[in-house]
Amino acid sequence: MVSMSTLLPALLALIGGGLLSLLIARVFGVVFGRLTRKTRSETDDFIVQVIVATIPILGWVVSASWAWWLVPTPPEADRVVFSIAKLILVVFLVRLVNRISLRLLQRSAIHSGDPAVGSMLRALAPMVRALVWCVGAVLYLQNIGVQMAAIWALLSAGGIGAGLALKQPVSEFFEYITILLDKPFQTGQFINVGEVWGTVERVGVRSSRLRSVNGEAIVMSNSALTSSVVANYGEMQQRRLIYRLGVTYDTKHDVLERIPSLLKAIVEQGGDARFDRAHFVAFNSSSLDFELVYFVPSNDYIQAMEAQQRINLDIVQRFAEEGIEFAFPTQTLHLHNALDAGA
């Protein structure tokens, strides 16, 4: 039977430890609350509040364990009580770490400024939560004296099997992270990958969805995207158009000399293109070839085609006014395939 002389120290330890934990939580809240008010961060306030709420719980559990230790009890009862106390401590510590880590992930997602990166960080939340719980469970089992050799062997074998089974999904997930961090393209941009031309609609964990110029949806694995050469037309600042036009061999010398300046004036007069160069470049079997190069300061395909059409019509009109006769050069057109694809 437990005497009063034995029960009193245990009761004092329980009450004193619990009150001390309340005092520590109060002091912690006041000190760090002042610091967080200076930072004006809701996340910092949340972390302080979570820690302040957890300290008394941990303090009462430790105080109860200490009080139980002061009371003479059978060893078997001690092991059960201390195991329960350790379990409660581990559960609340894991919850504390999870709440803080998930809040930090959420803050990073909000401040990333990139919806794709924010989505990736939110997708990591379940993985972080599961990892913290696994670490807490392993530490608890080791602390209560469970032999971990067999468990480690089982986990190793299971890990090898899971690794082989999940090799492809895990690989695609890391390719997904590579796309989000490296940003070779983003949602809404027009890209070319091999024979595929399309607008990026969504970047997923395993695959990405593109909308082709013909309208059909194209689903490509992330590994296929990262291992291929990607031409991103969404980041074009301007389009460079280059093509040849030919005139007949009976065109006079002074007219040939005026054609480059005539082409320059035609390009510049509309204000929708920037002239680069125009030169007499080749003698062909049936034509004297001039090469015209100019830039359209836009990545919009329709705008580039409008500028090209205006220039072509002006060239036809001016050449007719000047009496310059067109011929058919060997190479009549040198435009990037992206223009024909509707980039």
Q: Quick one: pLDDT band at residue 320, thresholds 50, 70, 90?
A: very high
Q: Note the residue count of the chain.
A: 343
CB neighbour burial string for 40-61, b if at least 16 within 10 angstroms, e if fewer: eeebbebbbebbbebbbbbbbb
* pLDDT over threshold 60, residue 342: no
Q: Where are the alpha helices (DSSP H) in the chain?
A: 4-39, 42-70, 75-111, 115-123, 125-143, 149-165, 167-182, 222-226, 253-269, 301-322, 337-341
CA distance 303 to 325: 29
Residue 41: its pLDDT value, please?
73
Q: In sequence order, which residues have a C-beta less than 8 Å from that of residue 54 and are 6 or more positions away? A: 92, 93, 95, 96
Mean pLDDT of 112-121: 64
* Paired residues of 246 in beta bridges: 289, 327
Give yes or no for a contact between 246 and 334, defined as CB atoms under 8 angstroms apart: no
Q: Who's near 56: CB < 8 A, 6+ residues apart?
A: 18, 21, 22, 25
Mean pLDDT of the chain: 80
Give the count of alpha carbons within 13 A of 231, CB side only: 13
pLDDT tens-digit readout, 145-191: 776 666 666 666 666 665 555 556 667 777 777 777 777 888 888 88
Distance CA 315, CA 292 (A): 11
Confidence of residue 266 (pLDDT cuts 50, 70, 90): very high
pLDDT of 108: 75
Alpha-carbon span 126 to 120, nearest angstrom: 11
Out of 39-43, 84-88, 275-279, 296-300, pick the least confident.
39-43
How much is the CA Rg of the chain, to the nearest whole Å? 37
Band the pLDDT of 259: cuts 50, 70, 90: very high
Across 65-69, average pLDDT:
82
- DSSP calls for 137-163: HHHHHHHTT---HHHHHHHHHHHHHHH
- pLDDT at 139 (0 to 100): 81
Helical axes 253-269 vs 301-322, angle rounded to 10°: 140
